[in-house]
Structure 1
C-alpha cells in the first residue's frame, strides 16, 4: 500500500470570508492586528521600520534631501562607499555625487553623521543574523571592540541626535553580547531618563525591555514593551511578540502604568490576542480611555470575526456557487447571533456616550451590524446620523449605504439599476489600476485599493448575482459574474463560480442563446452597457451553447451550434466511442485510437447512430457504441470534458441528481445502462452479451446506495443486479474471466454465493 501526503488549495489568510467592512478604515499603524483566523498576524505595520528611520533622517537633514536618496544611501551603499563620503573623497561615482543625502553628508559640518553611519554599518553584521533558522553565533570580542570604538566616537560628538544614535548602537552591542544588566543601566545613563520621540530612542527602550525580561523582571519588561508599542508604530509587531513572551497578565502590568491612557493601551494589546468574538476588550479600553485609537481596531476585529463566523456562512446558505469555510451548527449560529446583538448594543451605547475619537465610524459600524441583522430601517437611520468629512469613514459609509439600499429594494429593476450604476463606477475609482492580486505592490501601498477590490467582488458575487438569480434573470447574473471576473480577484474559497464556470457548466441552451442575443443587441441601458463592456472576451458562446445541448443529449442542435463555433474552438477526443472497463485513464491517443474526434464529429456520429436505431432490426453494435459514448461523457467517463470544463473528485450520484435531466445522466448513467441492455438483447454472441452485461453493471453500480455508510455501499456494490446474469449465463466466456480478474465486487459476489 502506498501512502501519499498531498495538499490542495488553501485559503488566502487575508481573503477567505465575505467581508464588506474594511479593516484599513482608521487603522493605520495597527495592520498586524487586523483580524484573520488563519495566520498569526495580518500584515506589517505602517510605517515600516525602514520608512520610520528614513523619516527621522529626513527631519535631521532638512529640505533639499529626498527620502529616496536617504534610503539608497543608508540601505544600499557598501561600507567602503560610506567611508569615502565620510572622508570627503572627491573620487566618488557620479550616481553618489548626485545623491542629495550623500551631498549632505559630504559637507564638513555633517561629517559626524557620516562617521556614525559608517560605524552603524560596521555594527550591523555583529548584531544580526542571515540564517533565521539557526541560533546566532556572536563574536563577543568583536562586539567589545566595537563598543569601545563607539564610546570613543560618541564622546567626541556634539550633535545630540547623533549622540543618541551612538547610544542606541552601544546598548544594542551590550544586549546582543548578553550583557543585559549593563544594557539596562546604559539606557538609563545614556538617555538620561527623559522620553524622546525618535525611533532610535524607542528601539533602545525596547532593548531595555528585552534586557529586563532576561533578568526575569517580566512585569517591568511587559510595561516598557507596551510603551514602545504605543509610541512607535513601526515596532508594534516585534513589541507585541516580545510582550507575549513575558507571560504576564494585564492586571500585573496595570500598577506600573502612569495613567488610565497607558492602562488602556495595555488592555488593547491583550485584547488583540483574542480570536473569538468578545466585546470585553472594547469595554475595558473605553472605560480607561474613550478616545483611544485602539478602539477602532478592536471594533473592526469584532466585526470581521462575526463576518467570518456568522455573516459569510449565512450568505452562503443555498448558494451552490459559494464555498463556505465554516459549517456551523444551528446552536453555533444562535450563539453568533447573540454575539452580533451584543456588539451592536455596545457600539450604540458608546456612540451615545459621546467620548469616542471617531464616533461617525462607530455609527457606520452600527449601521453595518443592523444590515447583517437584516434590520434595514435601523441601518438607514444610523447612516442618516453620520456627518463625517473624513474620506475613509465616508468610503465605508458609501459601502454600507449601498448594501442597505440593495436589500431594501424588493426587485432590481431598470430604475434601480440606473441608481446603482454610479455606485459601481465609484468602486471603479477606488480599484483603478490594481491589476492582478499577485502583481500588487508588497510594500502595503496597494492594500487599501485591494481591500476595495475584494469588497466590490463580494458585492457582485454574493449580493447582486444571487439577487438576479432569484429573480430568474440569469443573463444579468452572468453579466454581474463577468464584471466580478474582470476584477481578477476571484478566490476559490470565497467567490466560487466564475462567469466562465456558469456558462460552460450550468447554463441551459435557452439562457445561453438569450445571453448571446443580448450581447449583440443595440439599445442597451447605460447600466447594461457598463456590465457588457466587462464581459469576458475569450468565451465562444456558440461552442458553449453546443455543449449545453450535448448535456441534454440533443445532438442535433448541438451539431448546428458547433458548426458555428469553428473547428479551433472545439474539444477533441480519441476514445469517446471506446468502451471503458475501469474508472481510470485519460482520453488520449493510444495505439488503436489515433484519430481525432471533434465535438462536432461526435454529434454527427451520435445522430447517425440514432438514425440506425429507427430501422429494425437494429445491430447490437449500434446500441453498444451509443451506450459507450453516453458513458464516456458521464462523470465517470474519460471524455467528461465534452460536457464540463471541470470535474472535481468529491462529487458522486445522489437521488437528488434525478431531479435534473443532465445530472441524472451525468451521475446516474441511466440511458447508457439502458442502451447496453438493448445491445445485449440484440446480440446472439455470448462474449458480446457478457461485455454488455458488465458495462450495464458498471452503470448500475454508479447508483449504489449508502455512500455515507461504507458497509452499506460495499454490500450494494457486491449485490449488483447484473452479477447473477454475468456469473450464471456468461460464466464460461473469456470476457467473464477478464472481468472477474479485474472487478473485486464481482469476485466478492461470486465468493458470497459459493458460501451459500
Structure 2
C-alpha cells in the first residue's frame, strides 16, 4: 500500500491562481444565487446558461419526463408507475419478456403483473420483444475518413448493417401489417424508418415514413421518434433545410429529445434560423424559432425576447431566456473573489484578471459624492484633530462612519466587475438596466410569479434592496421552488442592505439565519461517493460569508473580516503585523456575541498554543526591524510554540487522512533549530542547496554565546549581546556589527535564511518573497479572501543592515575585512534597487507598435538609475579595495561583481 504525503504549502500552489490551470471551471467562478432551474417546464433545463458545458447539466435527468415512457404508461392503462414502465421498456431483459409470453414470468415485476398482463397487452409486449432484439444493432455504421484525426474506437461494435437487410425489412413489414393497435402499428413504422436510416438507405427511410408512419394520424411519441429518424435520413441526402425543419418540429413537440434535436439541427448561422422562421406557420413556431436564435451565444437576446414577448408574454421559453440573461449578469456582479491590482485601486473578478478599471461602468467608476457631515461628526473630528489623532480616511475612522457613509462605500460588495463575457457585446455593462426594464413590464403582463422574482433579483443586483424586498413581499405563490428562491432573496436583501454589522445584528443573524452560517455535519452512514473534481459549488452561504467579511473590513474590524474567510493558521502565509494585531484583539475580546463565538472564533483552533503563535509573529517582526529587545520579550512568551501549522495529506487505497505535521527533534519548526550560519555569508547564491554549501560561517570565537544551533529566544539574546559589544570602538565591535548586518541581510528577501522571520518552514520560492509594487500598507480593498494569493508582509528595510555594516566598516582596520563588509553592503543596496524596480514597471501595451523600442528605453532608464543610485558600495570596492584578496575571491564567485569590476 503506497502512501503519499503533501504539505499544505505545496497543495496551495495548485490552488493559487487556478484560473490559469487547465482544470478551472468557469461555472465555479461566481455565486449562482438566482436558481435558473426554477422554470416550470423542465424539458428546457439543458438550455439554461453554462460556460463549462455546451448544455446545462446541473439537474437530475429524471426531472425531464420521457414522452415515450409516458405513452407506454398510458398504453398499459396506468397499471404501472412511471418508474415501472421505464424498467419494463428500457431495462428488463428480452428473455424475461419471452418467459412472460410463455406464461412463466420469473422477473419480480412481471410476476406481480401476472400472466394475464400479456394476454391483455399482447401486441405491446410482442413489440417490446422485437424492439429489444433490434436495439443492440440500432446505430449507424461508422465510416472513417482517410483524413480522420480522431481514433474511432472499437470497430467491432454492432450496428444496423450486421442484420440481414431483406429479412429484417420483411419481418418488420409483416409485423406492421399484423398489428391492430394504431400506436403499435406506428411503432413498427418507426423501426422501419430507423433501420433504413441506420443502414444508410436514406431514400427508403423517407419512403417508409410516408408509407408506414404518416398515414396513421397520431402525433404522439412514436411519431416524434420516427420524425427524428426521418430528418436524419434527409440530412444524409443533403436536404439540410428540410432536415432542420423536421428536427425543429421534434425540438418543439418533444420534451426528452430537445437537446439531441437541437444538436441535429446544426444551426451554425443566422441564415439557418431565418429559413426556419420563414417556414413557421403559427405563433408557437415563431416563438420557438426566436428562442433558438436568442439561445446562440453570438446574439444579444433582448431584441428577440421583445419579439417573444409580443407573441406570448407567458411563454415558458421566454423565462428560459431571462434565466440565462440573469445568469450572465451574475458572473459580473457576483464573482467568487474580488481583488485589486497592486498598482491601482481597480477591481476585477478572478476570471478576468487582465481587465482594468477603465472597464468599469460609469455609474460604478464615478466617485461617490461627499455628504455633508452631521454636527456630531464635526465635533468628533474636531477633537480627534485637537488631540493629534490621525484623520486619514484610508487608515482610521472606519468605526466612526455613519450608516450613509457605509452604504455609499464603493467597495461594498456586490460590485460590478467586467467578466470575460461570451454572450454579450461591449455594452454588456448596460445590460442590467435593459433587462430590468424588460422584466418590469413582463411581470405586469404575465400571470407567472417568475417575472416578479426575476425583477426583484435584478433590483438586488442594482443595490435597490428596498424595492427588491417590496416586490418579494407582494408575491403570492404556492410553487415550492419559487418559495425557496423568495426566501433566499429576502435573506440576501436583509443582510446586504444592513449598514453596519454590530452585536445586535449578529444576534439576529445567529437567531434567524443560522442555517446559512452553521454547516451541518455529514451523516456518518452516508453512502454518497460522488466526487466533484472542482470542489464544492459556491453557495448562498459562501456569498453571505463574503458579504460579512467585506462589511467587517469596511468597518475596520480586520480581524473578524480575516477569520470569516480564513483560519488563524493562514496568518503564517502573510503575517502582516497590523492584521495580526487586529486578529489578536478579536481573540482577546471579552463577551463575544454568540455569532462571534460560533461562526468566527471557531477558525482559531488550529495553531496549538494561540498566545505563542501570536508572540512568534510579533517577535519575528521586531527582529526584522532590528528591535532585538522587543523580540526577546515576545519570544520569552513563545516557548510553548508547537511549530508552524502545516498539514500532512496521506493517500492510500481506501481513503485520505489529514494530520498535523509533526516536526523532528532537529528540524526547524519556526522557533527552534536555527544554525549559526545565519550569521555567516554566502559562498554562492543557491537557495536549493544545503546551508553548509551555500553559506560559510564567520569567526565566532570572540562570541561564545553564538551556539551552533539556537531557538529564537537564544538568537534574540545573542543579538542583544552583539549590539552591546558593537557599541565599542575596537575590532571586536566591528565584528559584532558585521554579524548583526549579516543576520539582517540573510533573513531578508534576498538572504538564504529568508524564511526565518516570516513564519515559513524553508526558503523555497513563493509569494512571500516577491518585492512589493505598491506603497499601500494593505493590498486588500474588499476583504481577506484568498489571503495566500497576495503578498502582505511589510517590506524589508535594507537600510537597517547597511547601518550596521557602516559601523563595522568604520571600526575595522583590516582591508580584507572592509572589502567583505562593503560587498555585503552592496548586496543590501541591491535589495533597495529591486524594491524601486518593482514599483516602477514598464506600463507599455503589448499591442503598441513601438513596444520593443519603448521597452528597451525603459530598461535603459532603469540601468542608468541603478548605476547612479544603487551601486555606491560596488563603486567603493572598485576604487578603494580592488587589490584586496577578498575582492579578488568575490570576483570569482559573483559573476555580476566580476563584470562590474572589469567595466
Bin of the TM-score, shorter chain as denominator length: 0.7 to 0.9
- 1:122-521 aligned at under 5 Å gives the runs 122-124=136-138, 133-134=150-151, 141-145=161-165, 147-148=168-169, 150-151=172-173, 164-192=186-214, 194=217, 196-198=219-221, 201-245=223-267, 247=269, 248-274=271-297, 278-309=301-332, 312=335, 323=350, 325=352, 327-330=355-358, 333-334=361-362, 335-352=427-444, 354-355=445-446, 358=448, 360-422=449-511, 424-427=513-516, 441=530, 454-461=539-546, 463-481=547-565, 500-501=569-570, 504-506=573-575, 508-518=579-589
SS for the counterpart of 1:703 is helix
Q: Deviations 1:535-594 (Å, cap 9, x if unpaired)?
A: 364344345414531245353354245323325574477778264577653486766899
Q: Deviations 1:321-341 (Å, cap 9, x if unpaired)?
A: 974525255355244443221
Aligned residue number for residue 545 of structure 1: 614
Paired with 1:204 and 1:739, the residues of 2 have a C-alpha distance of 86
Paired with 1:414 and 1:86, the residues of 2 have a C-alpha distance of 73
Paired with 2:443 and 2:708, the residues of 1 have a C-alpha distance of 67
SS for the counterpart of 1:343 is helix
Alpha-carbon contact 1:37-1:275 (below 8 Å) kept: no
| Alpha-carbon spacing, 1:275–1:691, altered in 2? closer, same or farther (3 Å) | same
Alpha-carbon contact 2:719-2:740 (below 8 Å) kept: yes
Alpha-carbon contact 1:504-1:544 (below 8 Å) kept: no
Alpha-carbon contact 1:690-1:735 (below 8 Å) kept: no
Alpha-carbon contact 1:48-1:234 (below 8 Å) kept: no
Paired with 1:665 and 1:582, the residues of 2 have a C-alpha distance of 27
Alpha-carbon contact 1:54-1:70 (below 8 Å) kept: yes
Q: Deviations 1:165-196 (Å, cap 9, x if unpaired)?
A: 55444433322333333323323433326454
Bigger fraction of residues in helix: 1
* Residue among 699, 721, 729 paired with 2:831: 699
Q: CA deviation at 1:271?
A: 0.8
Paired with 1:591 and 1:741, the residues of 2 have a C-alpha distance of 16
Alpha-carbon contact 2:186-2:223 (below 8 Å) kept: yes
Between stretches 397-406 and 648-657, larger displacement belongs to 648-657
Alpha-carbon contact 1:383-1:401 (below 8 Å) kept: yes
Aligned residue-pair number = 708
Alpha-carbon contact 2:250-2:258 (below 8 Å) kept: yes
Mind listing any 5+ residue stretches in structure 1 that lack a counterpart? 1-5, 483-497
Q: CA deviation at 1:89?
A: 11
Aligned residue number for residue 687 of structure 2: 585
Q: CA deviation at 1:117?
A: 4.8
Q: Deviations 1:222-266 (Å, cap 9, x if unpaired)?
A: 333233234334333332223234644433212322321221121
Q: CA deviation at 1:531?
A: 1.0
Aligned residue number for residue 562 of structure 1: 638
Alpha-carbon contact 1:690-1:733 (below 8 Å) kept: no
| Cα RMSD (Å) | 4.8
Paired with 1:673 and 1:320, the residues of 2 have a C-alpha distance of 38
* Residue among 689, 712, 715 paired with 1:605: 715
Q: CA deviation at 1:267?
A: 0.8
Aligned residue number for residue 489 of structure 1: none
Q: TM-score under structure 2 normalisation?
A: 0.66
Q: Deviations 1:421-443 (Å, cap 9, x if unpaired)?
A: 355334379988599xxx88589
Alpha-carbon contact 1:212-1:221 (below 8 Å) kept: yes
Alpha-carbon contact 2:745-2:828 (below 8 Å) kept: no
Aligned residue number for residue 647 of structure 1: 766
Aligned residue number for residue 487 of structure 1: none
Alpha-carbon contact 1:679-1:692 (below 8 Å) kept: no
Paired with 2:808 and 2:616, the residues of 1 have a C-alpha distance of 27
Mind listing any 5+ residue stretches in structure 2 that lack a counterpart? 1-18, 363-426, 624-629, 644-661, 664-668, 698-706, 780-790, 843-854
Q: CA deviation at 1:348?
A: 0.8
Q: Deviations 1:270-289 (Å, cap 9, x if unpaired)?
A: 11113676522321221222
Paired with 2:465 and 2:599, the residues of 1 have a C-alpha distance of 27
SS for the counterpart of 2:200 is coil
Alpha-carbon contact 2:338-2:350 (below 8 Å) kept: no
SS for the counterpart of 1:548 is helix
| Alpha-carbon spacing, 1:668–1:152, altered in 2? closer, same or farther (3 Å) | farther
| Alpha-carbon spacing, 1:690–1:178, altered in 2? closer, same or farther (3 Å) | farther
Alpha-carbon contact 2:683-2:695 (below 8 Å) kept: no
State the structure with bigger RCO (CA 8 A, min sep 6), 1 or 2.
2
Paired with 2:777 and 2:268, the residues of 1 have a C-alpha distance of 61
Paired with 1:324 and 1:65, the residues of 2 have a C-alpha distance of 46
Q: CA deviation at 1:656?
A: 0.7
Aligned residue number for residue 20 of structure 1: 33
Paired with 2:339 and 2:778, the residues of 1 have a C-alpha distance of 22
Q: CA deviation at 1:160?
A: 5.6
- 1:519-530 aligned at under 5 Å gives the runs 524-530=592-598
Q: TM-score under structure 1 normalisation?
A: 0.78
Alpha-carbon contact 1:370-1:379 (below 8 Å) kept: yes
